[in-house]
Structure 1
C-alpha cells in the first residue's frame, strides 16, 4: 500500500485552495513597507481569466515601480506587466491573468528601487489547467482512494475477530507495517504541528507549500491505531507457531539504529529535526517496498490465502489504481508529465503496490481458489508439515551429495 503517496499527490489537489501562510522574512519586517499578494496559489483555465491583487504593507516613503516576471513566457498573459504604486496616493494593484497553455509557473517581481525586501513576498504559483471537469474528477478520485485506503485495515480486523485466529496473517508484514506507519505519522505530525520544523522547511523552501495536510495527519494516526488493534488481536487470538522472522528482525534492527542515530544527532544540534523526519520518510518508503514480500511468500508456501483478507487487498488495489489515475489526469490537465517521468519514484511506488495487489488477487482467486477454509489448528499443522518437509528435503540433498 503506497500510503506515502497521500502526502505527494494530495498536494497537487490543494493547489486550488491552499495559500502560503509563512511570515515575512525578518529583513522585510525591519522596513516601513513591503509588497505582497492576495494569494500565493492560483488556478486558471486555458482561455480563462483570474485576478489577484498586489498588496501594500506599511507606508511608502517614495514611489515604487514594479515589473512582473514570468517563469515561462508562453503559459499566461498578465495585465498589467508594469505598474507604479504612488507614495502620494497608494492603492493596491489588481492583476489579470489569462491562461494560454496548460502548465505550472511562478510569477515573481522586480522593483525600482531595487531592494529584495520590497518584493520578497510578491510571488504567486500559477497552475494553468485544460479542464475544470478534470480538476473535479481528480478531487473525487483523491477522496475515493483516501477513503478506500482508510477502511482497508478493517476487513483483516474483522476476519481475525470472526475466526478468533490470526493464522495466515504474516507477522513480518504486520511488524513492518506498524513501524512504517509510526515513522510516517512522526513525519506528518512533525511538519504539521511543530513550528520550529515548519520554520526550517520554510527557510529551505521560501516559496514552497508545507507538503503535509490535515488529511495526511489524520490518515497516518488512524493507520497506527488500526494496525495496533491488529497487533492486539495477535496477542489474544490463536496464532499457531507464527513469529517474527530473524530476517525481519534484522531489517528492523538496522532501521532502529538509523532512527536512534539520527535522532541523537538532531538532539545535539548536529543536524536539523527536519532532516531526521526525512530519514523517517525514507525508511517508510523502504518498508512500503518490501513489506508485502513475507505475506506473498507465506501464501505460496501454504498454498492458501486463508486468514489473509482479500477485502484489504481489493480496497488497496482500488486506492492505488485511483491514485495513479489521478496522477495521470493531473499530468494531462497541467501538461506536467515530468512529475511522473521526471521522478519515477512517485508513480513507481504506486505501481509496485498495485502489482503486489494483483499477485494477491491471483493467489486468492486463481492459484489457490480450491483451497477450503480450514480450521486455524489445521492450517498451522499444514504449515508445520510443509516446513518439516522442506527441512527433510534439505537433509536428504546434503546426504546425497
Structure 2
C-alpha cells in the first residue's frame, strides 16, 4: 500500500513535467495596446497585439467584427510565430479603418483554439463622424457635471441669508436625500465591490463599468449638500412646515422595497448586483416625483420666496447640456437608439428640464410681484400643505 509520503515526490515530478499554459503560470501571454479605440470615418487607427513569453506553437488569429459594415480590419488575420525565448516580446500591428459611424466590438478566434487568446484579444471600437463634435460633447459633459454639483449651494445660501426655510418644501428634501442615498449605494457598490464587479462583467463580458469616479463624487456630494440643507431646517425658522403623510408613506414603501431586495440578496435568491439595480430604480422613481410637492407649494402660496431660483437655473443648464450631449453623440456615432431605444435617461433629463422651466415661469412671470416677506395668510397656507402631525 502506498502512503502520501512515498507518493509525494512522484506527484511533484509529474506536475513540474507538465507545462501550465493558463492561469498565473502562463508560459505565454497576449496583451493589446487598448481595449477601447475611437476611429474617425475615412481614417484609420493602429491597434497592437503583443505576445510575450515562450510560445511552443504558432497561432493564426482571425478578427471577427460585430458589425461588418462599420470598419475594415487590416490585415483581417495574423499568424503568431512560435518562439522558444521566454524573455522575448513580439508585436503585431493592426489598422482599423472607419467606414460608418457607430459602435462595435472586434473579437478574435485562434486556430488552434486557445481560450486565453480569445478572452484577451478584443477591442471596443467607436467610429465617429467628427473629433470636433467629440470634444464639444466632452466639454458639455464636464460643464453639466459642474453645474449640477454647484446647484445645491444657492438654496443653502438663500436659507442662510434669510435665516429661514419657509417656502422650501420638506417633502422635496425628504425625497431628495433618499434618492441620492440610493444613487450613492448603487455607485459605491459597482465602483468598490470586487464581487459585484465580477458579476457585472460576467453578465456583460466586454462591457465597461458604468460607474466612474465623477459619479462617485457627484452622488456623495449631493447627499452631503442635501444633509446640510436638512440641517438648516432644524435651526432656522420653518413655521409649521412638516414632511407630509403622503411623502412619508412613499418613503416607507421605498424602504420596504429596499429591505426586501436586501433580504433576497442576502439569502442568495438575487445577486447583490440586482439589489443595486433595485436601488437605482428607486432613485429614478424619486427623480420623477420629487419636484411635484415644491411646484404645488409655490402655486398655493402664489410665491417662490424661499425657493432659490439659482438652484433651478443651474439645474436647467445641466439638464440642457446633458440632453445636448446625448443628441451630439447620437449624431456623431449614429447611435440614436441610445436616446429613443432606451429613453429612460433622456426622458428623465427632459422631465427635469420641463419642471425647471415651470419653476422659472413661476418665479419670473406668475409670481414675480410676490412680497419678500410672507404674510400671515401665506403662513397659514403652508400649514395647510401638511397633513402630518409629526414634525420633520
Structures share fold, TM-score greater than 0.5 = yes
Q: How does 1:1-400 map to 2 (within 5 A)?
A: 32-88=27-83, 91-375=90-374, 379-384=378-383
Does the 8 Å CA contact 1:167/1:376 hold for their aligned counterparts?
no
Aligned-pair distance for 1:56? Answer: 2.0
Whole-angstrom distance in 1 between the partners of 2:375 and 2:230: 17
1:173 touches 1:294 (CA, 8 Å); kept in 2?
Answer: yes
TM-aligned CA deviation for residue 35 of structure 1:
3.2
How far is 1:36 from its partner? 3.5
TM-score by length of 2: 0.88
CA distance in 1 between counterparts of 2:110 and 2:269 reads 39
**How many corresponding residue pairs?**
363
Structure 1 SS opposite 2:138: helix
> How many angstroms apart in 1 are the aligned matches of 2:69 and 2:317?
38
TM-aligned CA deviation for residue 74 of structure 1: 1.6
Runs of 4+ in 1 over 3 A off after TM superposition: 26-36, 375-379, 381-388
More divergent stretch after superposition (375-384 vs 359-368)? 375-384
TM-score when normalising by structure 1? 0.86
1:34 Cα shift?
Answer: 4.8
Output the CA distance in 2 between the equivalents of 1:83 and 1:117: 16
**SS across alignment from 2:42:** coil
1:386, distance to aligned residue in structure 2 (A): 8.8
Does the aligned pair in 2 maintain the 1:167–1:379 contact within 8 Å?
no
| Runs of 5+ consecutive residues of structure 1 not aligned to the other structure | 1-25, 389-401
Greater RCO between the two (CA within 8 Å, min separation 6)?
Answer: 1
Taking a change above 3 Å as real, the CA distance of residues 384 and 277 of structure 1, as seen in their structure-2 partners, is: closer
Cα offset for 1:375? Answer: 4.0
Larger radius of gyration: 2
Which of 57-66 and 106-115 deviates more? 57-66
Q: CA deviation at 1:82?
A: 1.3
C-alpha separation in 2, matches of 1:387 and 1:33: 70
Tell which deviates more after alignment, 194-203 or 327-336. 194-203
In 2, the alpha carbon distance for the partners of 1:173 and 1:287 equals: 10
User: 1:396 maps to which residue?
Assistant: none
Deviation at 1:47, TM superposition (A): 1.6
In structure 2, what is the Cα distance between the partners aligned to 1:385 and 1:207?
A: 55
Using the alignment, how far apart are the partners of 2:59 and 2:310 within structure 1? Answer: 63
Q: Aligned partners of 2:386, 2:281: CA distance in 1, in Å?
A: 34
Q: Distance in 1 between matches of 2:386 and 2:280?
A: 36
Partner in structure 2 of residue 21 of structure 1: none
Alpha-carbon shift at residue 144 of structure 1 (Å):
0.6
